[in-house]
């Protein structure tokens, strides 16, 4: 199945762990590796070293670049994963925070490569845009006490029960 070319897609910089990282993301989210390019004898890394990998996460295309030197990601850019239920929140949260990942707050975490993610229930948008400001306030107050989001607790806070 061919994916249509997108005009804008993220490019993620890695430091010689490119294949490990791409395989991790494909295993966590599903998807596939579309192509791989390699450094030539023009360098700067040795000929035959992976240069780029294009891959999909679900049906979204990403590119990974092996820049050879460390670069630091910040929370200024993150990827939001909208989850259908608590089981999906738990699945992605566990995978992304394992092996050196980091829990942050309010549904945010970093994976072992330092990339920031927001793991949120699909209904979160409607919970925090409710026309009743008291419901929104209760939901937000509950969220601020959490690292991994607890959908039942958020819905309970929203309902005021």
pLDDT tens, residue by residue, 40-53: 999 899 999 999 99
Q: Contact, 126 vs 156, CB < 8 A?
A: no
Q: Which CATH number fits domain 78-159: 3.10.180.10, 3.40.30.10, 3.40.50.2030, 3.30.230.10?
A: 3.10.180.10
d(CA 130, CA 40) in angstroms, rounded, equals: 55
For domain 11-66, say whether CATH 3.30.720.100 is its number: yes
pLDDT band at 4 (very low <50, low <70, confident <90, very high): low
Q: What is the pLDDT of residues 107-152, one digit of tens each?
A: 999 999 999 999 999 999 999 999 999 999 999 999 999 999 999 9
d(CA 153, CA 156) in angstroms, rounded, equals: 5
Label the pairing between strands 11-14 and 33-38. unpaired
**What is the per-residue pLDDT for 70?**
76
State how far Cα 132 lies from the chain centre. Answer: 31
Q: Which helix (H) or strand (E) holds 19?
A: helix 18-29
Q: Contact, 37 vs 45, CB < 8 A?
A: no
Instruction: Find the angle CA(140)-CA(142)-CA(145) to the nearest 5 degrees.
Output: 110
Q: What is the pLDDT of residues 53-106, one digit of tens each?
A: 999 998 899 999 998 777 889 899 999 999 999 999 999 999 999 999 999 999
In terms of phi and psi (left: phi > 0; alpha: psi -120 to 50; beta: otherwise), the region of 138 is alpha
**What is the per-residue pLDDT for 68?**
79
Q: Name the pTM for this structure.
A: 0.90
State how far Cα 19 lies from the chain centre. Answer: 17
The domain spans of the chain are 11-66, 78-159
**What is the per-residue pLDDT for 8?**
87
């Amino acid at each position: 199945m061919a994916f249509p070319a997108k005009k804008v897609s993220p490019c993620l910089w890695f430091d010689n762990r490119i294949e490990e990282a791409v395989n991790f993301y494909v295993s966590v989210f599903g998807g596939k590796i579309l192509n791989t390019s390699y450094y030539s004898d023009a360098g700067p890394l040795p000929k035959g070293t992976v240069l780029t990998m294009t891959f999909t996460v679900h049906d979204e295309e990403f590119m990974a670049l092996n820049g050879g030197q460390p670069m630091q990601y910040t929370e200024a850019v993150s990827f939001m994963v909208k989850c259908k239920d608590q089981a999906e929140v738990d699945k992605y949260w566990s995978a992304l925070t394992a092996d050196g990942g980091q829990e942050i707050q309010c549904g945010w975490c970093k994976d072992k490569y330092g990339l920031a993610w927001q793991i949120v229930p699909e209904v979160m948008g409607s919970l925090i845009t409710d026309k009743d400001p008291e419901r929104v306030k209760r939901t937000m107050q509950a969220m601020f006490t959490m690292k991994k989001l607890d959908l039942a607790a958020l819905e309970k806070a929203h309902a005021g029960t």
